[in-house]
Amino acid sequence: MRCKIVGLLFFTFVYATICVAQKKSNNQKADSVLRLMTLDEKVGQLNQYNDDNQATGPVTIDNNKVDQVKNGQVGSLLNTIGSDRTRSWQELAMQSRLKIPLIFGQDVIHGFKTTFPIPLAEAASWDLPAIQMSARIAATEASASGIHWTFAPMVDIARDPRWGRVMEGAGEDPYLGSLISAARVKGFQGLNLGDTNAVMACVKHFAAYGAAVGGRDYNSVDMSERQLYEIYLPPFKAAVDAGAASFMNSFNDLNGIPAVANNFLQRTILKEKWGFKGFIVSDWGSIGELINHGYVKDTREAAAAALMAGTDMDMESRAFKNNLAQLVKDGKINIELVNDAVKRILIKKFEMGLFDNPYKFSNIMREQAALNNPAHQAAARTMAAKSIVLLKNNNNILPLSKNYKKIAFIGPLVKSLIENKGFWDVSIPGVDSNFIVSQWEGLQNKIGPGTSLLYAKGCDIEGNNKSGFSEAVSVANQADVVILSIGEKRDMSGEAKSRSNINIPGVQEELLQQLLATGKPVVVLINAGRPLVFNYTAKNATAILYTWWLGSEAGNGIADVLFGDYNPSAKLPMTFPASVGQIPIYYNHFNTGRPALDDKNHIYNSSYLDESIFPKFPFGFGLSYTNFSYTNLVLSNKNMNMKDSISVSFTLTNTGKIAGEEVAQLYLHNKHASVVMPVKALKDFKKIMLTPGESKKIQFNINKEKLSFFNSNLKWDAEPTDFELMIGSSSEDIRLQASFELKK
Ligand code: NOJ
């Protein structure tokens, strides 16, 4: 009895303290809570477990999670979905001594119930407001299902399409990647982290994960500091500037130091230099994996190394939970390091409003409304159309006439559902996740009563079976035009989905060959999570649409583009190689001392004897159903000093017969500098809608910031020199050129 009274008094005291603290800043509130915490409870806040719902990594069996949550030994759960399930875990957390709420994290990478195109596809839209909106909708749906925190955006620059995770990022360019990174952070987090429809962003994977040797996932990374600063870090910095709440570190080692134990990355750059105030979570089990790296001898050393290097939360390796308290007691870890990590997490819990109402995200009414919202589906359809890249269009076969009597729709992806979602779709237990418009259904929705759609599968995505070819050929023979839908399976790209051969798999290109032999025009849809190699298709198909994985509304989005209800405007965010042997291939390479100018001359220059030096499709490339002309380039000045700026203008005209959008791209090149500079680097772009015959004056502004780079001392600065300015429709299709000088 006496015990109960003492217990009650203690809780009252705790509550009073927290309540008084509520009038204070979140920083002060976190301090107040921190003062009440035992060492065990502090370590608990740094501990994140996977719920048993689903797994996105190697599972550790642990039957004791419920008790640990009740005892305040868990700070966060991942893969807990649904307002009911999150509520019941939170109720357990509310039984703990200090009632510190849990945060629920989830990989909401491209939509939640409404699946949007994979991030690489969205990046192809170069449409920042649309990308931000896609993240906003994902957050609205996820937050209604109890999720507080998404492990996105993934902002890793990727120059190697063998790496399966290229599908998850924004491609190869640091400038475009930075703008998209900021747009996604703002989209997820909304106006204010405390809003019920805002989820915390988690920017990942810090850092340089996309440069894994050989494109093999989780592999080592070895790169110069200059390349790190210039190419790989900018999207992370942009995310910090956009207010990202959290970061995730990466599985790779960087120049011999695993990222999770990398003091230079996490403390020196992120927390000190960039002033990041949020917290850093490890990747799944990666603290424990320090042993596999050969960086530490056991999990005790792993926990110490990770915490000291700035990792604040341990996802699923139990290294912090099992070792940190003892490390502190043994004097091996300063308690202030633990306090700092705990406080960073508590502050976010306060900012999210979870101390005021731990259940604010777990509301079944809101969940039902948010997960069945036609406006979200409409936005996903528009985003799907915006993401499709038109790579080829012989004889302007596209857009397809609505007067065709018979259209053959052939291929292994025509009727598939789940493939359209792409890797990292969220499957929501208990919720109808088969909400996908197949490509077949999309076309059926579109065609008029005078057109009939004929179908044959033709072949599988993988394997050598050609038994369906003859049926496909006979269907093609009956039709006016053939549409062939081929590509990868959804799980051929994504985490741990690296491929050494990135051709279109199986016998799909052979099927195309047979269909072309009928003499019918063949429009090819290529579905994939990465740039593929498809030289036969590129040469022989009548038209090609690169459709990536487009999500719930794939079928409708594709039909909109095929029939011209949407005029394609997307541009490749990654270079498409002509062969695997060219990889890594990217547009912003250096010139070298012996540049090759063509593929014929191999005399002591930087070329291949047996392969072109040029990509199949360059960065920034994408056709439209109309044409654009670029004229009247005017620079306000031919030179500027460090404080000046130059205004650049030109006239963009839609010279075709259909309204359309063009992404006009501005590239710059410093003719010489204290370090070697790329042959061109994207510095600005504008996406402009023009009606047929319409012209608009487009303006770019060039100031010192646009001309700056990490110099030989790794200082962000500009150097006086001559600059080449290039404006074009892709990184290779340069339409206007000029030069100017930057003076001291
Ligand atoms: C491992 C992945 O690398 C990471 O991106 C993801 O967020 C976590 N697993 C959690 O699923």
Within-domain flag for 268: no
Residue 362's pLDDT is: 86
Residue 16's pLDDT is: 44
Tell me the C-alpha to C-alpha distance, in Å, between residue 498 and each of 210, 212, 493, 741: 12, 10, 7, 44
Lowest-confidence pick of 33-37, 232-236, 363-367, 717-721: 363-367
* Residue to substitute in 284, 286, 287, 425 for testing ligand 1 pocket (most ligand atoms within 8 angstroms of CB): 284
Unique residue bearing structure tokens 């893969």: 79
pLDDT: is 17 or 370 the higher one? Answer: 370
For residue 108, the CA-to-ligand 1 centroid distance in Å is: 11
Give the pLDDT confidence of 123-182 residue by residue, as tens digits.
999 999 999 999 999 999 999 999 999 999 999 999 999 999 999 999 999 999 999 999
Give the pLDDT confidence of 517-531 residue by residue, as tens digits.
999 999 999 999 999
Looking at ligand 1, which atom is closest to the CA of residue 202? 7
Buried b / exposed e over 432-463, threshold 16 CB at 10 Å, is: ebebbbbbbbbbeebbeeebebbbbbbbebee
Of 144, 159, 94, nearest in space to 114 by CA: 144
Within-domain flag for 105: no
* Residue to substitute in 48, 51, 78, 107 for testing ligand 1 pocket (most ligand atoms within 8 angstroms of CB): 107
Burial-class residue 510 by CB neighbours within 10 Å (0-12, 13-18, 19+). middle
* Residue to substitute in 109, 203, 315, 498 for testing ligand 1 pocket (most ligand atoms within 8 angstroms of CB): 315
pTM for this structure?
0.96
Helical (H) or strand (E) element with 740: strand 734-742
User: On the CB side of 582, how many CA atoms lie within 13 Å of its CA?
Assistant: 24
Q: pLDDT-based confidence at 2, cuts 50/70/90?
A: very low
Task: Name the domain count of the chain.
Answer: 2
**525 and 418 in one domain?**
yes
Nearest CA to ligand 1 atom 3: 283
Residue 4's pLDDT is: 43
**517 and 379 in one domain?**
yes
Within-domain flag for 364: no
**639 and 538 in one domain?**
no
**499 and 408 in one domain?**
yes
Look at residue 11 and tell me whether its pLDDT is greater than 80: no
**632 and 559 in one domain?**
no
Residue 635's pLDDT is: 98
For residue 293, the CA-to-ligand 1 centroid distance in Å is: 18
For residue 118, the CA-to-ligand 1 centroid distance in Å is: 16
Whole-angstrom distance, CA of residue 447 vs CA of residue 567: 17
Q: Tell me the average pLDDT across 583-592.
A: 97
Q: Tell me the average pLDDT across 603-627.
A: 97
Residue 39's pLDDT is: 98
User: In sequence order, what DSSP letters do the residues of 393-459 get, joined into one string?
Assistant: EGGG-PSPPTT-SEEEEESTTSS-SGGGG-TTPPP-TTS-------HHHHHHHHS-TT-EEEEE--S
Pair 170, 177: CB distance under 8 Å: yes
Residue 18's pLDDT is: 52
Whole-angstrom distance, CA of residue 260 vs CA of residue 43: 18
Q: Examine the fold and report which residue of 580, 597, 618 is the final residue of a domain before the chain moves on.
A: 580
Whole-angstrom distance, CA of residue 162 vs CA of residue 502: 7
Q: pLDDT-based confidence at 463, cuts 50/70/90?
A: very high
Residue 300's pLDDT is: 98
Of 443, 452, 441, 473, nearest in space to 404 by CA: 452
Looking at ligand 1, which atom is closest to the CA of residue 105? 10
Within-domain flag for 28: no
Within-domain flag for 636: yes
Pair 177, 171: CB distance under 8 Å: yes
For residue 424, the CA-to-ligand 1 centroid distance in Å is: 10
Look at residue 15 and tell me whether its pLDDT is greater than 50: no
Look at residue 20 and tell me whether its pLDDT is greater than 60: no
Looking at ligand 1, which atom is closest to the CA of residue 79? 11
**642 and 570 in one domain?**
no
283 annotated active-site: yes
Residue 61's pLDDT is: 87
For residue 120, the CA-to-ligand 1 centroid distance in Å is: 17
Q: Percent of the chain scored above 90 by pLDDT?
A: 91
Q: Tell me the average pLDDT across 379-388.
A: 98
* Residue to substitute in 151, 204, 289 for testing ligand 1 pocket (most ligand atoms within 8 angstroms of CB): 151
Residue 21's pLDDT is: 47
> In which domain, by residue range, is 676 found?
628-743
Burial-class residue 405 by CB neighbours within 10 Å (0-12, 13-18, 19+). exposed
Give the pLDDT confidence of 194-238 residue by residue, as tens digits.
999 999 999 999 999 999 999 999 999 999 999 999 999 999 999
Whole-angstrom distance, CA of residue 351 vs CA of residue 328: 28
Residue 63's pLDDT is: 86
For residue 255, the CA-to-ligand 1 centroid distance in Å is: 22
**694 and 550 in one domain?**
no
Give the pLDDT confidence of 408-435 residue by residue, as tens digits.
999 999 999 999 999 999 877 666 556 8
**546 and 462 in one domain?**
yes
**733 and 650 in one domain?**
yes
Residue 8's pLDDT is: 40
Look at residue 313 and tell me whether its pLDDT is greater than 80: yes
Lowest-confidence pick of 271-275, 367-371, 561-565: 367-371
Residue 432's pLDDT is: 58
For residue 106, the CA-to-ligand 1 centroid distance in Å is: 9
CA 729 to chain centre: 24
* Residue to substitute in 283, 497, 498 for testing ligand 1 pocket (most ligand atoms within 8 angstroms of CB): 283
For residue 419, the CA-to-ligand 1 centroid distance in Å is: 20
CATH number of the domain enclosing 391: 3.40.50.1700
Of 234, 117, 140, 146, nearest in space to 187 by CA: 140
Of 77, 172, 216, 105, nearest in space to 495 by CA: 216
**Ligand 1 first shell, C-beta below 6 A:** 56-57, 78, 107, 151, 204, 283-284, 495
Nearest CA to ligand 1 atom 4: 283
Alpha helix (H) residue ranges in 244-400: 263, 290-293, 299-308, 319-329, 335-351, 364-370, 374-387
**504 and 389 in one domain?**
yes
Q: pLDDT-based confidence at 13, cuts 50/70/90?
A: very low
Looking at ligand 1, which atom is closest to the CA of residue 151? 7
Residue 14's pLDDT is: 52
For residue 56, the CA-to-ligand 1 centroid distance in Å is: 6
Q: Examine the fold and report which residue of 580, 607, 641 is the final residue of a domain before the chain moves on.
A: 580
CATH number of the domain enclosing 734: 2.60.40.10
pLDDT: is 488 or 366 the higher one? Answer: 488
| Tokens read off for 456 | 């044959």
Within-domain flag for 602: no
Within-domain flag for 78: no
**Percent helix, strand and coil across the chain, each rounded to 5?**
35, 20, 45
Q: Tell me the average pLDDT across 483-492.
A: 97
Which one is catalytic: 51, 253, 283, 560?
283
* Residue to substitute in 56, 149, 289, 316 for testing ligand 1 pocket (most ligand atoms within 8 angstroms of CB): 56
| Tokens read off for 464 | 């050598």
**527 and 398 in one domain?**
yes
Q: pLDDT-based confidence at 52, cuts 50/70/90?
A: confident
Give the pLDDT confidence of 659-684 residue by residue, as tens digits.
999 999 999 999 999 999 999 999 99
Q: Examine the fold and report which residue of 545, 580, 615 is the final residue of a domain before the chain moves on.
A: 580
Q: Percent of the chain scored above 70 by pLDDT?
A: 96
Lowest-confidence pick of 339-348, 600-609, 613-622, 688-697: 600-609
For residue 493, the CA-to-ligand 1 centroid distance in Å is: 14
Within-domain flag for 575: yes
Of 231, 271, 344, nearest in space to 587 by CA: 231
Nearest CA to ligand 1 atom 7: 151
pLDDT: is 456 or 372 the higher one? Answer: 456
Average pLDDT over the chain reads 95
Contacts of 678 (CB under 8 A, 6+ apart): 588, 589, 590, 669
Look at residue 532 and tell me whether its pLDDT is greater than 60: yes
Pair 130, 183: CB distance under 8 Å: no
Instruction: Determine the Cα angle at 480 with ends 474 and 481, to 5°.
Output: 85
Look at residue 10 and tell me whether its pLDDT is greater than 50: no
**639 and 576 in one domain?**
no
Look at residue 642 and tell me whether its pLDDT is greater than 70: yes
Whole-angstrom distance, CA of residue 433 vs CA of residue 435: 5
Look at residue 9 and tell me whether its pLDDT is greater than 70: no
